[in-house]
A and B are shown apart, each in its own frame.
Chain A
Amino acid sequence: MAGRHTIPKFDRILLIRCGSDVEDRLWDFPAAPEDSSNLVFLHGDAVESADRLKTLAVRSHAASFQVCRTSWCRRHPGRAPAPPFELSTLTRLIASIAAGAGRVDSDGLSGACCSQGSGDGGYLLEIAFAPDSPRQAEETVEWLLAAASLELDVRVLFSAGGLAHLRGEFAPAWRQFIDFDLAGLYAQTGNRVDPLDVDARCIEPSDAIGLRGDRRQVILL
């Protein structure tokens, strides 16, 4: 239909947000079999790796290599990434995941996570790192903005260092999701008594395990 964009569906998606050891992650990513398609998507600081990964990317035979347009343009205004990398958007990535990606490997800022698309619930974004800059915090909020713009059932779990997103200067951006009732925010606080500046639901580690198990996809940011 004219004016309507097709959302591609991938069998496996590798999301890289961490700027270090990107070569190793890409090297370990399997080539896509002939009848399937894979996607490698760089976001945040990881987009800095696109230029030096181009040769490795060509050799690894993944179907598509994309970088987040917003992340890229913040760091490299006025220039495109080297092929085979191409610009795409966070919203398109999330739409592809929602279209039924078989497996999502997320290499986040606090570790790696593999999600097989099981469970009946919606999506869980897990944040376990403290932002080291306003830009890093902003690029984390943009995940939930993109998911909310698609009206997906999304919850966000903050744990460990990730609780820093819910305090001080970083807190206001997260409040909008509660004020507009767009997503459930959960804070795995355990025995911590430091107050949060966002009215997230405080849960125990055992509840967090249940939350992860209930979700269709878990993406570790």
Chain B
Amino acid sequence: MSDPSRDSDRPAIGADGHLLDRNGWTDAVARQLAARDGVELGEMHWWLIRFVRDHFDRYGNPPLMRMAVAALRESGVEDASSRTLYRLFPDGPIRLACRYGGLPAPESCI
């Protein structure tokens, strides 16, 4: 029986909506995952997704919101705040950046 969560262009996705194998992540996969939620990724979305992926690779966990805000300010968006990120992903900026970025669902309740 074929796996309905997978086709030739789309890697397998778990029940939580995250990739089962993060090595299968590409920009195209990110666009597909976001499209499932009706989100079209713009420049700022991509900034956050890449920041979260880089942080995860470097430290082993997703960043705190305040880390992402600090990094965004450092990148030149001087008035960045958590509100800026929630405007991108109203249902949880870090959580959704993890999902679209091919990372596992954050385990921690922080």
Which A residues lie at the B interface, using CB under 8 A? Answer: 68-70, 73-74, 89-91, 138, 141-142, 145-146, 148-149, 151, 172-173, 175-176, 180, 182
Contacts and interface: CB of A to CB of B under 8 A. Distances in A.
A151 B66 contact: yes
7 contacts: A73-B107, A89-B109, A142-B108, A145-B64, A145-B110, A149-B65, A175-B58
Contacts of A142: 108, 110
A175 B108 contact: no
A148 B55 CA distance: 16
Interface in B31-58: 55, 58
Interface string B76-110: 00000000000000000000000000000001111
B59 A148 contact: no
B11 to A, nearest CB: 23
A64 to B, nearest CB: 17
Given A141-B61, A172-B58, A173-B60, A180 B67 contact: yes
Given A73-B107, A145-B108, A175-B58, 14 more contacts: A90-B109, A148-B64, A148-B66, A149-B110, A151-B66, A172-B58, A172-B60, A173-B59, A175-B59, A176-B55, A176-B61, A176-B63, A182-B64, A182-B67
Contacts of B64: 145, 148-149, 182
Contact of A91 (B61, B65, B67, B110): B110
Nearest to B71: A180
Contacts, number: 51
Nearest to B70: A180
A215 to B, nearest CB: 22
A70 B66 contact: no
A44 B110 CA distance: 15
A90 B108 CA distance: 9
B67 A176 contact: yes
B59 A90 contact: no
Given A176-B67, A180-B67, A180-B70, A146 B59 contact: no
Given A172-B59, A173-B59, A91 B109 contact: yes
Contacts of B109: 68-70, 89-91
A73 B59 CA distance: 22
A138 B106 CA distance: 12
Contacts of A176: 55, 58-59, 61, 63, 67
Contact of A90 (B55, B58, B110): B110
Contacts of B55: 176
Contacts of A182: 64, 66-67
